[in-house]
Structure 1
Amino acid sequence: MRAALGLVLASLLPGCSLLGYHKIPKAPYAPAEEAQKVVFPNSYEEGVHLDGPTMAALEVARNEFMPPGAKAISDNPKLADCLARRDVYDVTVIQSTENLYFVSFIPKLERCGLQDVVLMDAGAVYAIDGKGRVLSVL
């Protein structure tokens, strides 16, 4: 009986991905000899600063726009590969009010060597509230 229950449960596990569960892969680390060459800055004043709520809004929008494991679909395989890369998109976050953020994703196809490709409706803008909910999408 337990063996049969185990088989049934094991057969259902792949279905988790169909229900929206995705495990985000751990970031790769560089080899130790490369890591030893890194010199950290003494100050972070010149950096881009995101407060917690802004970072949360960005994370919600990014995961909605490009869920882990998502693939772009196109008749042009180079374009599909390009649009599936997170580094292709420039992102702008605007805090409109204390509890309203707009997050814009605009692809820069030249980062993939696709200067001659024109997309009419690429990217998206998300309205995210302070609770991390998607309010609207353009």
Structure 2
Amino acid sequence: MNPASKIILWAFYGAGKSFAANGTPIVDLDSMHYGFTNVGSNPHDSKSQKLTNGIRVERNPEYPQNYIQAVRDSAAAIVLVNCEIPVLEQLENVVLYYPDLSLKQEYLKRYQKRGNHTSFIHMIEQDYEGMIRSLGRLPYPKYVSNEKK
């Protein structure tokens, strides 16, 4: 595939990347599987945040280069990503999708419902507004959702 025709869609946590990729010709590359070792098959399982089948999850020393390469090597026309902003800045043809500031409580409920670890939920609860404002300042095309699920 011509790299110039590939779209890298960065979407906020809980925006529906896994749901969108289910059964469609879209690839969902969860950075957790590249950034950590021994991650289970369900990255949203609270147990996979620290232990997977009794095995400690550790930072992968090959990250972020292994993730960037996987995104670039993907044959899909649309690649869904969820990486940190410094990693995102190393990719081309990026579009951002994130919620409006008014949807904070909606997104916190989503994280609880899908079983995210309480430390993740607390981090989002504390940093949501700053994260959304920071995304708004990035130099990429954006879609800001006002939609509740």
Superposition TM-score, scaled by structure 1 size: 0.21
Q: Which has the larger Rg?
A: 1
Which structure has more RCO (C-alpha within 8 Å, separation ≥ 6)?
2
More helix, by proportion? 2
What is the TM-score of this pair, normalised by structure 2?
A: 0.20
